[in-house]
Amino acid sequence: MLNILFFGDNRHFSTACHRAKALERIGHRVTHFNPEENLSAFFRSPLMRAINFRSGYRLVQPSVQRKLKHILQSGLKPDVIWVDNGEFFGRKCLQILKQFNCPVILYSIDDPTGKRDGHRFDSLLDAINLYDVIAVVRTKTAEDFEALGAKKVIRVMMCYDEIAHAPYQNEAEIPAKFKSEVAFIGTWMRNENRDEFIKVLIDAGIPVSIWGDRWTKSKYFSVLKPYYRGANLGGKDYIAAIQGAKICLGLLSKGNRDLHTTRSMEVPYAGGLLCAERTSEHLALYDDGKEAVFWNDAQECAALCKKLLAGDNIETIKKAGMKKVRALKLGNEDICKLILEKGLFNAN
């Protein structure tokens, strides 16, 4: 058993929180701090959150450093430190963490060297070479981190969570408000063209249901509004919308250089039918047409949805996808074990 000092989002629906709980489930003792929670109310205001995001969290560095010094002086003796995502931690923060005299791991689910998020990760990138181990979910990110002087980079796949994403055992318990024909669960993002993609489906007569934040910002919202079902989903509501849909769309973030996403694992694990872009990583994960269905553009996606909704093999594909993703062992428990073994114990 390891004593793990864990820094990351502690909201129950966040993937960071899922990883912290997974580390506990595999037998470790986890002390969890959310860096943002310790900031003053001023820095947690919507305006300052936006400024922090765009300025690489430079303004909050003194506050974060004070908290880390306080934890250091508390006498806590971790065996390993796990920093999840890491945008709050600049170089001086890492220098404080190194005083614990134990390995420091960074798990990066985003794409800090990509272009989508502007300067968000400037503080993190300045500290890359101080981490002992960095786990990333994209090959291009791994290559970029190594070029920046990272000591050890481990490439892993994105995960489902064994507990948080478990399907309803009795599908009759899924609330009717979360049932749909074709579902997309995700945030509207500028320059990602998700709204244009879904508009093509709607124009083709596909009954799409949309859950997620910021969709009112879309220039197509007048068209999308009748199909909009509400804000982002978490917890059992998220599972209900996946499992309650006949088809679940998996849209990638081009700005994040995605070839797969967490949805690629969560949807089949939770009992949904994954309908996503045809990429090398998706094709390596699932047998196209049998364990998931893939497309090259919105027109092909619309045609696939029509064919599936008119046929009788939706349940067959759902069951095959669910079986496959479990066989791949891509849950948080498996991936956390892998990171600790390869990162700390140099396992092959």
Would you say 321 and 296 are in contact if contact means Cβ atoms under 8 Å apart?
no
Query: In this predicted structure, what is the pLDDT of residue 346?
Result: 65
Look at residue 83 in the predicted model and tell me its pLDDT: 97
Q: Which fold has domain 3-159+331-344?
A: Rossmann fold (3.40.50)
Query: Rounded distance, CA 257 to CA 234, Å?
Result: 24
Q: How far is CA 10 from CA 13, 36, 88, 132, 298, in A?
A: 8, 10, 14, 23, 36
**How much of the chain exceeds pLDDT 70, in percent?**
99
Give the per-residue pLDDT at 43. 81
Of the pLDDT bands very low, low, confident and very high (cuts 50, 70, 90), residue 265 is: very high
pLDDT band at 348 (very low <50, low <70, confident <90, very high): very low
**Residue 295 β-bridge partners:** 277
Domain with CATH 3.40.50.2000 in the chain: 3-159+331-344, 171-327
Out of 3.40.50.2000, 3.30.70.60, 3.40.50.620, 1.10.10.10, select the CATH number for domain 171-327.
3.40.50.2000
pTM for the structure as a whole: 0.91
Rounded to whole angstroms, the Cα distance separating 302 from 57 reads 41
Give the pLDDT score at 253.
Answer: 84
Q: What's the whole-number mean pLDDT along residues 286-292?
A: 97
> Could you report the per-residue pLDDT of 29-66, keeping only the tens digit for each?
999 999 988 888 878 888 988 898 998 899 999 999 99
